[in-house]
Amino acid sequence: MNKRGKRLLQELDREIREHIELATQDNIDRGMTPEEARHEAFRKFGNVTRAKEDAREVWSLVWLEQLLPDVQLGLRQLRKNPGFAAVAILTLALGIGANTAIFSVINSVFLRPLPYHDPDNLVMVWENNSEYPNPHNTVSPPNFIDWQRRNTVFSSMSFIFDERDNLTGNGDPKEVVIQNVSANFFSLLGVNLLLGPGFTTENGQSGHDNVVVLSYGLWKQRYTGDPAIVGKFIVLNGHPQTVVGVAPQSFQWFIKDGSLTGARPQLWSPFVFPQAFQQHKQIGRFMTVVARLKPGVAPSQAQAEMRTIAARLEQEDPDFDGHWGVNIVSLRDQICGDLRHALLVLFGAVAFVLLIACANVSSLLLARAGSREREMAIRTAMGASRWRIARQLLMETLLLALIGGGIGVALAVWGTNALLAASPRNLLDLRTVSLDLRVLLFAVAATLVAGLLFGFLPSYLSAHSRISETLKERGRGSSSASRRALARKAFVVAQLSLALVLLTGSGLLIRSFVRLIGVDPGFDTGHLLTFKITLPQSRYGTDQSCITFFQQLLSRISTVPGVRSASMESFPPLTGLGAATSVHLLGLPSLTPSDLPVANVRVVGPDYFAAMGIPLRVGRLFSAQELTEEKHVTIINQAFATKYLQGTNPLGQKAVIYMKSDAESESQPSEIIGVVGDVHQLGLDTAPEPTVYWPHSELVMSGMTILVRTSSDPLALLATIRFQVQQLDPELPMAAVATMDQLLAESLSRSRFTMLLLGIFAVVAVVLAAIGIYGLIAYSITQRTHELGIRIALGAQRRDVFRLVLVQGTRLTFLGLAIGMLAALALSRLLRTLLYGVSATDPITFAGVAGLLGVVALLACFIPARRATRVDPMVALRYE
Amino acid sequence: MSTKEQKQRIELLQGTLDLLILRTLLWGAAHGHAITKAIEFNSDDVLQVEQGSLYPALHRLIKRGWISVEDGISENNRRAKFYSLTRKGRRQLSVETGKWDRLAGAIARILRPKPEPE
């Protein structure tokens, strides 16, 4: 305030007195008695204090000057009502904390840029078969070469396929995941290596590809962050490779859909296509392809051109490319696609929780406004403007919001960590989730919006109450009180409906999860240890050496006390896609190669089906001789028989399984000798796929997963089993050690995660809604003590009083449930993709949650209703 | 001042009060009570200044530099504040008057449209 204003205000009092003096004089001149004249002058002037306040506001940056007193007053008010303050702050902290935690995950998944140069121009290029659709089907090398030659939409393309290799030297042998990539991989992604020059174009030519780039983690752990690592040799599968670079810590490349190992890479090596890839098309589809769009080219344009190219390839080579098209997916969609839906649902859910929390605090404030009505009326009479009072109340609510928000952010830090601990491990690199500026801004915005939401109505109603009425009626039964009561009822109805929506969502997820874990995986997952052994080419070059090694290993493990049986499989269930190929059934009309049925191929060891607990349906299992020699026999699963051999006897049928590398033995048909039960390969929510089983002798593989069935905790035997492996070959690492129960839990982890979180939010919502309706009924009873006392005095039975109170609560409950039910019907469709075996409008769930919430709400009314029946009429009548 | 019936009196809008104060001060410096009286007298008692808002309005005009204030002696020989128009205020008055004329004309045209020529 400036000096001039200050002086004017100091003298304003005298000036107004003078004004009234003059006016009085005028009135006397006009013939009034002095007393009348004075009274009339005052009446005409109006509220003196108000005039002074208004004049003061002209000069000051009012809100700034009044801020401090408002804050002090607000804090005093909160201290005076610690119970109210604690409930309100805690409620808000829960709401804001949950929102911030979920937002911080959304921020890192959707909003933060991917750690590549210009990531918006990166796309994944997949194949997709119109007969057996899989929009993320891996790519064959010859098609990649053709695409690269013919397209005009990409500035560059790169392929990736991963495998497990043995890393020796510098400590224990270790199985590592390596990504074989084209030499332009790092330059396409625009990644600057931490150390070293990386791959040159020369590395993309045969004879120059014995180089590797290490991941930051491998460099730190295995080579202790050796700054002079570039130029040194490491030994992979017995072959020396030169280190030409170390990737930065933030660099990640893991596309789950195309990954053959299902694991993150630890190093990268350039891969040069052998001459055969260029001419001979009969090469499997196993690569992931990433491409960078030319500037100005939209993904849809790229999709259109690639479709044309695929159509031409289909014409040129119908045997190999018939029905095969191309599918372009932006990198962001590829990475977030899995999670987007679940996270958006959770975000919607926490927003609901915050709304319910706001309604609760707002309702509390309204109740308190009743008892403060006289205070406000007196302040208005003393000259406070409506805006001034509303501002004072808003300041109190803002304080509540800020304290709640502060605690909420602390909760969010803790909650995000809990979230990470509970989140599916393989799903996403959530380690990058953290509270950054954007998250804090979000928290502040959420706090302010919450403050305005819950503070607006109480402030508005208080500021617009009529003073004279309030002062006369002593705050009871005034029109503003009834408006507040109406608002609180509306809040309770809204809370119940929101809570019902959340409860329905979580009910659907719980039911779908129960369905899911009720699914029979097709084999016995209990007490089953799995680990992977990969024999290096350099020391186990021949088929016979591989067969012998695995035979010896299995017989050694079988002798370990506590082991019931031991076997092996190439790609066990719940560990990823595994190999698949086309199968030619000789008994059926012949088809072009691209129209042949496709089946998973599994290579198994002795006693496999017994060890796994997979039942034999028809025929017989592999004999001892078939397990050691190439006898051209195969066992199929139920799904294969149903899908491809419907109506015929599968036993004795001959099938050519295109999996072997040399053309001569590839066309040798195998005879189907048995049918076994189905196994869920990818997860319980994915239907079993047609599968053919070969004995290990039929297709010798150097990498096998050992399966050990134990009689007690399988991990307890790990050390003994490891000793047996090292007895056979001290250079061999045991990789991917896990029990089958762990793998099963992990395959369910996303469903469990979403269900758990939505469940927690729903419980919080129900508790808040219950507090809301309890508070309303309890308050209305204190308001009606007088009336209830009269009723009891006049002879009303306790039962009548009880019913009277309960009817009020019941009416609100039913209204809330009805609205909530409609909203849930409209919104549950959004959950459809997250559900398994349950319809989004499942009547049992809807009825169940409505019943549950109804009971909780009525219980919340029950307690105050009981209290109402104990009203002592004598006390109540004296109660004023 | 009860010559007019209560219902014929009109309370002033805030911006209008500013305009009327400026216009009143065109005749020369005046104190608060005199300004009120002048507005009521010149409007045949139709316009009633809500006096509670007179002083805040005066302070507002001072702050904007449209009027100035100095101490003087009132008609009953007491010290009083006399408000007078500044040059800036004079200019503002003509701007505001122009605005008011346009507004009043526009409202009049809507409320009492001229009959269509036959």
Q: Which residues of A touch B60 (CB under 8 A)?
A: 58
Of the partner residues A15, A25, A26, the one whose CB lies closest to the CB of residue B32: A15
Of the partner residues A26, A30, A58, the one whose CB lies closest to the CB of residue B59: A58
Residues in Cβ contact with A541 at an 8 Å cutoff, skipping those fewer than 6 apart: none
A·B CB contacts under 8 A: 70
* Residue in A25, A39, A45 to test binding to B, most B beta-carbons within 10 Å: A45
Answer whether A36's CB lies under 8 Å from A27's CB. yes
Of the partner residues A22, A23, A55, the one whose CB lies closest to the CB of residue B74: A22
Mean pLDDT along residues A728-754: 84
Mean pLDDT along residues A250-270: 83
Query: What is chain A's alpha carbon radius of gyration, rounded to the nearest angstrom?
Result: 38
Answer whether A554's CB lies under 8 Å from A566's CB. yes
Closest residue of chain B to A20, computed from CA coordinates: B33
What is d(CA B118, CA A65) in angstroms, rounded to the nearest whole number? Answer: 64
Least confident of A186-190, A221-225, A534-538: A534-538
More confident site: A56 or B7: A56
A531 closest CA partner among A405, A707, A759:
A707
- The sign of the CA dihedral A803, A805, A807, A810 is negative
What is d(CA A767, CA A361) in angstroms, rounded to the nearest whole number? Answer: 14
Mean residue pLDDT across chain A: 85
- Tracing tokens 């730190």 back to the chain, one arrives at A220
Least confident of A249-258, B35-44, B109-118: B109-118
A656: enclosing H helix or E strand: strand A654-657
Angle, nearest 10°, between helix axes A749-783 and A331-371? 10
For a pLDDT cut of 70, what percent of chain B falls above it? Answer: 83
Closest residue of chain B to A32, computed from CA coordinates: B1
- The sign of the CA dihedral A127, A129, A135, A137 is negative
Closest residue of chain B to A383, computed from CA coordinates: B52
A122: enclosing H helix or E strand: strand A122-129
Structure tokens at A305: 């051109």
- Give burial (CB, 10 Å; 0-12/13-18/19+) of A425: exposed
Task: Say whether pLDDT at A236 is over 80.
Answer: yes
- CB count within 10 Å of CB A837 equals 14
Is B1 within 8 Å of chain A by CB?
Answer: yes
Q: Which residues of B touch A26 (CB under 8 A)?
A: 1, 37
Q: Which residues of B touch A50 (CB under 8 A)?
A: 52
Is B76 within 8 Å of chain A by CB?
Answer: yes
Is A80 within 8 Å of chain B by CB?
Answer: no
Residue B6's pLDDT band (cuts 50, 70, 90) = very low
Least confident of A197-201, A313-317, A505-509, A661-665: A661-665
* Residue in B47, B59, B81 to test binding to A, most A beta-carbons within 10 Å: B59
Q: What are phi and psi for residue A241, nearest 5 degrees? A: -135, 140
DSSP string computed for A724-763: HHHHH-TTPPPEEEEEHHHHHHHHTHHHHHHHHHHHHHHH
User: Chain A closest CA to B95's CA: distance in Å?
Assistant: 22
Residue A654's pLDDT band (cuts 50, 70, 90) = very high
Query: What is chain B's alpha carbon radius of gyration, rounded to the nearest angstrom?
Result: 17
- Tracing tokens 């962001």 back to the chain, one arrives at A332
Closest residue of chain B to A15, computed from CA coordinates: B80
Q: What are phi and psi for residue A507, nearest 5 degrees? A: -60, -45
pTM exceeds cut of 0.90: no
What is d(CA A672, CA A693) in angstroms, rounded to the nearest whole number? Answer: 10
A738 closest CA partner among A708, A711, A712:
A708
Answer whether A250's CB lies under 8 Å from A115's CB. yes
More confident site: A212 or A475: A212
The DSSP bridge pattern shows strands A324-330 and A563-569 to be unpaired
User: Chain A closest CA to B111's CA: distance in Å?
Assistant: 32
| pLDDT score of A11 | 83
What is d(CA A550, CA A628) in angstroms, rounded to the nearest whole number? Answer: 11
For a pLDDT cut of 70, what percent of chain A falls above it? Answer: 93
- Residues A353-388: b if buried by 16+ CB within 10 A, e if exposed: bbbbbbbbbbbbbbbbbbebbeebbebbeebbbeeb
Task: Say whether pLDDT at B98 is over 60.
Answer: yes
B33: enclosing H helix or E strand: helix B32-42
Least confident of A160-174, A332-346, A471-485, A672-686: A471-485
DSSP class of A525: -
| Sequence-ordered alpha helix ranges (H) in A81-169 | 82-106, 141-150
What is d(CA A509, CA A828) in angstroms, rounded to the nearest whole number? Answer: 10
pLDDT tens track for A108-152: 777 777 778 888 899 999 998 776 667 888 888 889 999 999 999
| pLDDT score of B3 | 41
More confident site: A449 or A615: A615
Mean pLDDT along residues A259-271: 85
Residue A554's pLDDT band (cuts 50, 70, 90) = very high
Residue A696's pLDDT band (cuts 50, 70, 90) = very high
Residue A831's pLDDT band (cuts 50, 70, 90) = confident
Task: Say whether pLDDT at B17 is over 60.
Answer: yes
What is d(CA A74, CA A66) in angstroms, rounded to the nearest whole number? Answer: 12
A214 closest CA partner among A206, A204, A222, A205:
A222
CA distances from A461 to A464, A465, A788 (A): 5, 6, 27
SS3 A243: strand
- Tracing tokens 């491998």 back to the chain, one arrives at A218
Contact flag B1-A30 (C-beta cutoff 8 Å): yes
- Tracing tokens 């996403």 back to the chain, one arrives at A428
Contact flag A51-B55 (C-beta cutoff 8 Å): yes
What is d(CA A674, CA A695) in angstroms, rounded to the nearest whole number? Answer: 13
Residue type, B70: E
| pLDDT score of A425 | 53
Least confident of A87-101, A287-301, A367-381: A367-381
For a pLDDT cut of 90, what percent of chain B falls above it? Answer: 3
Residue type, A509: L
Residue A433's pLDDT band (cuts 50, 70, 90) = low
Is A45 within 8 Å of chain B by CB?
Answer: yes
pLDDT tens track for A579-633: 778 888 888 777 776 678 888 899 999 999 999 999 999 999 999 999 888 889 9
pLDDT tens track for A778-821: 888 877 777 888 888 888 888 888 888 888 889 999 999 999 99
| pLDDT score of B96 | 86
Task: Say whether pLDDT at A430 is over 60.
Answer: no
What is d(CA A787, CA A793) in angstroms, rounded to the nearest whole number? Answer: 10
Angle, nearest 10°, between helix axes B87-111 and B14-24? 130
Residue type, A290: V
Of the partner residues A26, A51, A59, the one whose CB lies closest to the CB of residue B52: A51
Is B60 within 8 Å of chain A by CB?
Answer: yes
Answer whether A615's CB lies under 8 Å from A665's CB. no
| pLDDT score of B54 | 86
- Domains of chain B (ranges; CATH) run 6-111 (1.10.10.10)
Mean pLDDT along residues A529-551: 87
| pLDDT score of B1 | 41
Q: Which residues of A touch B74 (CB under 8 A)?
A: 18, 22
| 3-state secondary structure labels for all residues of A284-348 | CCCEEEEEEECCCCCHHHHHHHHHHHHHHHHHHCHHHHCCEEEEEEEHHHHHHHHHHHHHHHHHH
Q: Which residues of A touch B69 (CB under 8 A)?
A: 8
Q: Which residues of B touch A30 (CB under 8 A)?
A: 1
Report for A83-97, A297-311, A753-767: range of highest mean pLDDT: A297-311
SS3 A351: helix
Least confident of A383-387, A557-561, A683-687, A724-728: A383-387
HSE, CB side, 13 Å, CA atoms: give it for residue A835: 19
| pLDDT score of A157 | 96
CA distances from A728 to A213, A530, A719, A723 (A): 31, 18, 15, 9
| Sequence-ordered alpha helix ranges (H) in A518-578 | 543-559
Contact flag A58-B56 (C-beta cutoff 8 Å): yes
Least confident of A8-12, A295-299, A338-342, A604-608: A338-342
Q: Which residues of B touch A54 (CB under 8 A)?
A: 52-53, 55-56
Answer whether A781's CB lies under 8 Å from A845's CB. no
| Sequence-ordered alpha helix ranges (H) in A107-172 | 141-150
What is d(CA A826, CA A840) in angstroms, rounded to the nearest whole number? Answer: 10
Is A12 within 8 Å of chain B by CB?
Answer: yes
| pLDDT score of A432 | 59
* Residue in B3, B51, B78 to test binding to A, most A beta-carbons within 10 Å: B51
Of the partner residues B37, B59, B78, the one whose CB lies closest to the CB of residue A55: B59
Residue A475's pLDDT band (cuts 50, 70, 90) = very low
